[in-house]
Amino acid sequence: MNNQSQNAIDIVLAESLKELAATKPIDKITIKEITDKAGVIRPTFYNHFQDKYELLEWITVNELFAPADPLLANGMLKEGITFILTTMEREKDFYKRAVQLEGQNSFNEIFMRCIANAIQKYIDVEALISMADYKWLKKELVAEFLAQSIGWVSIQWIIRGMNAPVNEMVEVYLKIFHSPIIQVVSKDIK
């Protein structure tokens, strides 16, 4: 991604993509449609993003994860997760379209990568690993395991219409963070 910072053009392009996604699958949306809706010329788009998938990544990083950073950095895991899920719920139509993208550059791939980065940054994965007796178990592998678990739950929540309340989803996330990985890596479990 060229630049993770926010500026007015990035925000306008993001809003344009989200509005278009309300009526059309993201993979069918063209750069011309995005720029026409945003009121900018095509070269402006390419000065900010390589393609619409990079714009999708920008939205995921800047609208979901970056605002949750201060909460996560201060150990407020529940509040950070609540922020991310509430934001997704508020933009329900967009995220329902986003999860329909498949393959490379899919929302699922972007979302899982963002989760893994946040886990490595804010969760004491080393403490989980210290309970294990496996020399091959590394921080990245544990972060990937947690990201896959949380990502799968999130994607299923979106696909199924986000009908489960956010507070219940947060409880599930917290259980994933604390229970399964400890059972998987602990040398005391038989």
Q: Which of 3-17, 25-39, 111-125, 163-177 has the highest mean pLDDT?
A: 25-39
Task: Give the Cα separation of 183 and 74 in Å (integer).
Answer: 26
User: What CATH number is attached to the domain comprising 159?
Assistant: 1.10.357.10
Angle between the N-to-C axes of helices 31-38 and 52-59, in degrees from 0 to 180, rounded to the nearest 10: 60
Together in a domain, 119 and 32 = no
Together in a domain, 88 and 170 = yes
Together in a domain, 158 and 134 = yes
Average confidence (pLDDT) over 57-73: 95
pLDDT at 184: 58
pLDDT at 136: 75
pLDDT at 187: 56
Together in a domain, 109 and 161 = yes
**How many domains, in total, are found in the chain?**
2
**Residue whose structure tokens are 């005391």:** 188
Phi and psi dihedrals of 143, rounded to 5?
A: -60, -40
Together in a domain, 47 and 95 = no
- H/E element, 36: helix 31-38
pLDDT at 25: 93
Task: Give the Cα separation of 152 and 48 in Å (integer).
Answer: 30
Together in a domain, 78 and 172 = yes
Residue 132: beta bridge partners?
186
57 inside domain: no
Phi and psi dihedrals of 160, rounded to 5?
A: -85, 10
Together in a domain, 85 and 142 = yes
Together in a domain, 32 and 71 = no
User: What CATH number is attached to the domain comprising 39?
Assistant: 1.10.10
pLDDT at 74: 92
Instruction: Please give the residue range of the domain that contains residue 29.
Output: 1-51
For residue 106, how many C-alpha atoms fall within 13 Å in the half-sphere facing its CB? 13
**Residue whose structure tokens are 């970056």:** 66
Task: Encode pLDDT of 129-160 as tens digits.
Answer: 666 667 777 777 878 888 888 999 999 999 99
pLDDT at 3: 45
Tell me the three state secondary structure of residue 120.
Answer: helix
Taking 70 as the threshold, does the pLDDT of residue 79 lie above it?
Answer: yes
Taking 90 as the threshold, does the pLDDT of residue 6 lie above it?
Answer: no
Together in a domain, 16 and 96 = no
Task: Give the Cα separation of 64 and 69 in Å (integer).
Answer: 9
Together in a domain, 25 and 102 = no
62 inside domain: no
Together in a domain, 25 and 119 = no
Together in a domain, 85 and 139 = yes
